Structure 1
Amino acid sequence: MRITSGPLDHIRCPRDVHDLNDDQIRPLCAQIRASLVEFGKRHGGHVGSNLAVVELTVALHRVFDSPRDAIIFDVSHQSYTHKMLTGRAAAFLDPRHYDQVTGFTNPAESEHDMFALGHTGTSISLACGMAKARDMGAVPDGGAGSGSIIAVIGDGALSSGVALEGLSDAAEQGGNLIVIVNDNEMSIAENHGGLYRGLARLRESDGRAEPNIFTALGMDYRYVEKGNDVDVLIEELTRIRDIDHPIVLHIHTTKGLGLDEEDARHGVVPGRHEFNHWQNPFCDEDAPVGSRKTYGALAMAQLERRFPDEPGLVVISPATARSNGITPGFRARAGAHYVDTAICEDHAAAYAAGIAKAGGTPVLATSATFFQRAYDQIIEELALNGLPATLLVFAAGISGTDHTHSGSLDTAMLATIPAMSYLAPSSSTDFLEMLDWSTRSRAHGTVAIRVPGERILAYERGVGDGTGAGETDAEDRRGVDEVTMETASLRGAGDSIPVDEATRENPYGRYRIDRQGSQVALMGLGDMYPVALETARSLERLTGGAVRPTVVDPRQCSGIDAGTLDGLAATHRLVVTLEDGQVDGGWGERIASYVTSMDRPGSHGPHDAQPQVICLGAGKEFTNRIPLPDLERRYGLTPDAVARRVVKALSLG
């Protein structure tokens, strides 16, 4: 179904934008804006940030010649209009094609997309590299990146440390390099940090205020107040198109420009409003709150009760607060106990180390995919220094998300760091007890906790068996009280859990055998625990009760519980590890290495009957928007598939 009609109907590539008459440009922008507003209502997505750059993107493709002139979007969730102008308009105009493209730039879709990008702050560095190759003569004439190089950065990305590194290098590098700062006055939530106060002064002074961070770094600089006026942008971009030195074009735009009264009734409004970062399709607004918000709200409620008595207890979020149940209401009540570091994960981890060193209690919360950006600081500043900080790792494991936001590498990434514990709770009770232990004791190093996901949430809610749970972590607009009321049935929200002095040392080093059986031991790590339970039932059905498996809840993936594994190896023919992360380099391989080692203390040498080990988990691949149930079938992670694999291994089938 067509949403609107106009010049966009005839755009197949950027050359078609060049061929439009001048009087068709504003109607083109209007049609794109109306289409994006309708797309947000029907499909959802990062609509607000894209509405801010409609005119900019049209102007870019009017003035420049993509892909000869390379346009690098950062964060590339701002690329919807770009996709519409490069042959992919149907994905935003026709509901039958809505899911045919990703929400980020993707070279697999189009030669006009320079990089697959879903994280932030890297566009300027990428642009510097492309400009360097061009200036060294490495790019053939007419090839992608042989002309102008343009980095479009904004929506909070400029505060990322790597963006500032890129700016510093760009000024020294020289040559044609255009950095467009899309200043819509917002990040994912509100902007934080002195950098944005500087941008505000520049806006207020029409670009004349001092100090100016861009000129201080040696960049040429121009300011455009009317960043949503396509004619002004075309004029300014034409003026700087062939510039022979790096320049920053700072444009002032409005996030969510064009959202209408229907959007407003659903709480999505233009301007400086957190709710227009991500928009749900209106038909999904009554969906239950997903695991990230559920368990995040429980964690925040528990910590909030302690704020009056613990001045050093600080929750840290690098910009992605609301996605993880850290709601505006909680933030307001927390006051100085909550810090948004902006999109600066590496700074956030080092900042947490500083708090811990000074005697405070930092809790750093973000997604597994974003903890990747802080890996060095987690190792060096936190683990190496043995500092008692707590990391809450959301959205870990395989998922149906875009390939730039996968959490499937979390165990391979975090569980092997020395002097650090990575805990994997299988219930809300375990999760909150682990959080309580990690934040009340200083007799341990850095502790990361894998926040329970959709399978555990479904299991606790009594929705089927918790296996094959769908992904329901869409954004919602409810307050903390509504979220915690919904989750109170899982555990008393905000309850403080007493910690026995005798258990202040890590009480999670031993695995928990929840069901004692024989022959087969099923070890379900974290979110795979419900799958292990249901697999046990499937095995009993398949074998007529001949096999009654042992079910083990490991509770952590950073250490080996030698005593439990030796006992399992001595009494079981088969050990099966289940993890919803990458098998290669993951937790299961470490279990297998120990259990099958002839040097294991419980082994009696080369003639000892070693148990067989089957390690099940995700493949070594990037997956892109494949539904979670499909991935589970692909990897053989459904209870029936695991049970059949076990029967075959035992030669019972």
Structure 2
Amino acid sequence: MTEIKTPILDTVNGPEDVKKLDLDQLTIMAEEMRQLILRKDSAVGGHVGPNLGDVELTIAFHDVFESPKDKIVWDVSHQSYAHKMLTGRKIGFMPGHYDEISGYSNQHESKHDFFTVGHTSTSIALAVGLAQARDLKHESGNVMAFIGDGALSGGLAFEALNNGGRMNSNLIVLVNDNGMSIDENQGSLYTNLAELRITEGKARNNIFKSFGFDYRYIAKGNDLATVIAAFKEVKDIDHPIVLHVHTQKGRGYQPAIDHKMAYHWRTPFDLATGAAKTPKTGEDYGDVIADYLNHKTADAPLVAINAAIPGAFGLKAFEAQHPDRYFDVGIAEQFSITFTAALASQGIRPIVFHSSTFLQRAYDQLVHDIAINDVPAVIVVRSGRISDGDRTHQGTFDIDYLSTIPNLKYLAPATKEDVITMLDWALTQKEHPVAIRIPEHGVTHGTAIATDYSDSHYQVLEKGQKVAILALGGFLNLGQKVQAQLQAQGITATLINPGFITDYDTETLTDLKADHTLVVTLEDGSLEGGFGEKIDRFYSASAMKVLNFGAKKEFTDNEPLTEIYQRYHLTPELIVKDILAQL
């Protein structure tokens, strides 16, 4: 790769160095920073568009304000790359050091960060808290919340505006408006934002003023001189104000400008062409789901709902063919669940699509609106897995938190055939809400567990003796490998595809007592409160031994999956070793 020279950035080791540079030098440094962002993201993946679009705003903040006395809180913080470069962490953007910093703000990395944040709509509430703490301690300093227009669709942002607008002291809310969320913005709020952009802040209707905020519009958010001047005007302001700034998402890289959704977060790609370095091959469960929906819509009053992440489920294709059956509610997980409950109560068959790490934001709605009302809603969960990503995006807890909710049946398909039959059953039954955890280890095939999932009945794939392996969902392949290695040791183990997370197959589990001494559970999630603990509890009054394999109760953070699996004993070799030790 061609060496990238950054002579201006090389002189900056902290915010104090930014202030030594003139406007021409700052402008040159902005492009140097963009080159580093693109080099890192193209090599290892990351958030491209958000970070390219806010470089000037970040430089201006550190040129005008006095971090960390003046505090900036990044919403989601997936746009904090430039901030990290200017606060002593530019080494993390050099080849060979990419794993030394996280992709989000992290107070353990730097005194210039204040929270570990990876979910959206949080910044204003956090900033209100910081400002209130400052006032209670009789301290000085500015507090700025940096929130994107897409993040304004989350209810927490409105709750925070409602409380922040009544403060009588310094609070700056910077709304970075690039006209995009992860996908296109959704909701009537964006009509007003568009009016404000068109009229350069002079529209009669102004949602921010209605919350009690002063307001200023900045049309040229990627122009350093303009932004620096605006920041100087509001520094040390004595009341709440919104700076509504118009920027360009993906600025400086044409593919990211032309394909904003694809470059919001991108796997490694070729810088010259923008093509993915590892193109998608074979089947993907997103494609499976999209195909299923397109065929199923004609048979039922079915609608698809998601909260701003259609790409994870192949839903853009469904939207194109059935726009009247598709609802993207924006980054509003709570609304998506309550909206789903109401639709289901009226005979519509809604499927709401969520990732494991975002669904937890709607736990109360799952309990109160879905489960207490016992509506036949269908929830499809992806990204439920032990991962090597950031601690803010862990998918290990959905088994635990969904399993605690009465009336809700949680299913764990292991194959494409399981997925299809579970969806078919969930959309025809009318008794309870059903959640389906999509496997995350590639599409596999096999005979479906059942066609009716009203009662729990595990699928015994191979009958053996002495050891029974219950391999849940996406870990079925791991179970098959363990079984093969045990076979090489002279032990013919029983292999079971449980399929049911929240329900026991008491008949199968009881039958195992006759000719087995050890039950092994494998789950791609947290052991605390997980599937394995339920099986262990079932056998607690018997002589059956139980070994549970899954994730420890901890937050991992950008660790290689091989290292995590070693620590959790989630390799066939380590599992077999533990089994033999028990036997």
**2:466 paired residue number:** 519
1:276 positional shift: 2.4
Say if 1:21 and 1:288 are closer, same or farther in 2 by CA, change over 3 A: closer
Deviation >4 Å, runs of 4+: none
1:576 positional shift: 1.1
Equivalences for residues 454-603 of structure 1 within 5 A: 454=441, 456-457=442-443, 460=444, 503=452, 506-507=453-454, 509-542=456-489, 545=490, 547-597=491-541
**2:311 paired residue number:** 322
Say if 1:526 and 1:508 are closer, same or farther in 2 by CA, change over 3 A: farther
**1:412 paired residue number:** 400
**2:250 paired residue number:** 256
1:629 positional shift: 2.4
TM-score for both structures, normalised by structure 2: 0.95
CA contact (8 A) 2:23 2:224 kept: no
CA contact (8 A) 1:508 1:555 kept: no
Pick from 286, 302, 311: which aligns with 1:296? 286
Say if 1:531 and 1:269 are closer, same or farther in 2 by CA, change over 3 A: closer
Say if 1:272 and 1:649 are closer, same or farther in 2 by CA, change over 3 A: closer
1:258 positional shift: 0.7
- 1:39-71 per-position Cα deviation (integer Å, ceiling 9, x unaligned): 333333211111110100000000111111111
Q: Distance in 1 between matches of 2:281 and 2:215?
A: 44
Q: Distance in 2 between matches of 1:288 and 1:520?
A: 40
SS of equivalent to 1:215: helix
Q: Distance in 1 between matches of 2:210 and 2:446?
A: 53
Q: Distance in 1 between matches of 2:278 and 2:56?
A: 34
CA contact (8 A) 2:289 2:313 kept: no
| One-letter identity of the residue aligned with 1:357 | S
**1:453 paired residue number:** 440
- 1:613-643 per-position Cα deviation (integer Å, ceiling 9, x unaligned): 1111110100011122221111001111111
**1:463 paired residue number:** none
Equivalences for residues 76-95 of structure 1 within 5 A: 76-92=77-93, 94-95=94-95
Say if 1:325 and 1:643 are closer, same or farther in 2 by CA, change over 3 A: same
CA contact (8 A) 1:155 1:188 kept: no
Pick from 269, 278, 284: which aligns with 1:287? 278
1:95 positional shift: 1.6
SS of equivalent to 2:396: coil
1:2 positional shift: 4.4
The answer to whether 1:403 aligns with 2:391 is yes
1:99 positional shift: 2.2
CA contact (8 A) 1:392 1:449 kept: yes
1:565 positional shift: 1.4
1:34 positional shift: 3.0
1:271 positional shift: 5.9
SS of equivalent to 2:362: helix
**1:629 paired residue number:** 562
SS of equivalent to 1:285: coil
SS of equivalent to 1:281: coil
SS of equivalent to 1:275: coil
**1:338 paired residue number:** 326
The answer to whether 1:306 aligns with 2:296 is yes
**2:212 paired residue number:** 218
Q: Distance in 1 between matches of 2:277 and 2:147?
A: 34
Q: Distance in 1 between matches of 2:420 and 2:291?
A: 10
Q: Distance in 1 between matches of 2:409 and 2:265?
A: 33
The answer to whether 1:641 aligns with 2:574 is yes
1:553 positional shift: 1.2
1:323 positional shift: 2.5
Say if 1:34 and 1:531 are closer, same or farther in 2 by CA, change over 3 A: closer
**1:72 paired residue number:** 73
| One-letter identity of the residue aligned with 1:24 | Q
**1:393 paired residue number:** 381
SS of equivalent to 1:68: coil
Q: Distance in 1 between matches of 2:399 and 2:132?
A: 37
SS of equivalent to 2:73: strand
Q: Distance in 2 between matches of 1:192 and 1:255?
A: 17
**1:483 paired residue number:** none
Q: Distance in 1 between matches of 2:218 and 2:235?
A: 15
Equivalences for residues 168-247 of structure 1 within 5 A: 168-247=162-241
The answer to whether 1:28 aligns with 2:19 is no
CA contact (8 A) 2:121 2:156 kept: yes
CA contact (8 A) 1:592 1:613 kept: yes
1:453 positional shift: 1.0
- 1:489-514 per-position Cα deviation (integer Å, ceiling 9, x unaligned): x599xxxx9x97xx4xx345111211
CA contact (8 A) 1:569 1:595 kept: no
1:149 positional shift: 0.7
TM-score for both structures, normalised by structure 1: 0.85
**1:466 paired residue number:** none
Q: Distance in 2 between matches of 1:340 and 1:218?
A: 29
1:90 positional shift: 2.5
Say if 1:451 and 1:359 are closer, same or farther in 2 by CA, change over 3 A: same
- 1:508-530 per-position Cα deviation (integer Å, ceiling 9, x unaligned): 51112111111111111111111
Say if 1:255 and 1:80 are closer, same or farther in 2 by CA, change over 3 A: same
Say if 1:309 and 1:581 are closer, same or farther in 2 by CA, change over 3 A: closer
Q: Percent of pairs identical after alignment?
A: 41
SS of equivalent to 1:218: coil
Q: Distance in 1 between matches of 2:578 and 2:281?
A: 31
Q: Distance in 1 between matches of 2:281 and 2:46?
A: 17
CA contact (8 A) 1:415 1:557 kept: yes
| One-letter identity of the residue aligned with 2:438 | V
The answer to whether 1:106 aligns with 2:106 is yes
**1:355 paired residue number:** 343
CA contact (8 A) 2:172 2:241 kept: yes
**1:160 paired residue number:** 154
CA contact (8 A) 1:45 1:278 kept: yes
| One-letter identity of the residue aligned with 2:504 | I
- 1:120-145 per-position Cα deviation (integer Å, ceiling 9, x unaligned): 0010000111111110017xx5xxxx
SS of equivalent to 1:617: strand
Q: Distance in 1 between matches of 2:205 and 2:481?
A: 63
1:349 positional shift: 0.6
- 1:320-354 per-position Cα deviation (integer Å, ceiling 9, x unaligned): 1112322x333211211111111101100111111
CA contact (8 A) 1:425 1:452 kept: yes
Say if 1:638 and 1:290 are closer, same or farther in 2 by CA, change over 3 A: farther
1:119 positional shift: 0.5
CA contact (8 A) 1:516 1:549 kept: yes
| Count of paired positions | 577
Q: Distance in 2 between matches of 1:10 and 1:637?
A: 46
Q: Distance in 2 between matches of 1:82 and 1:271?
A: 25
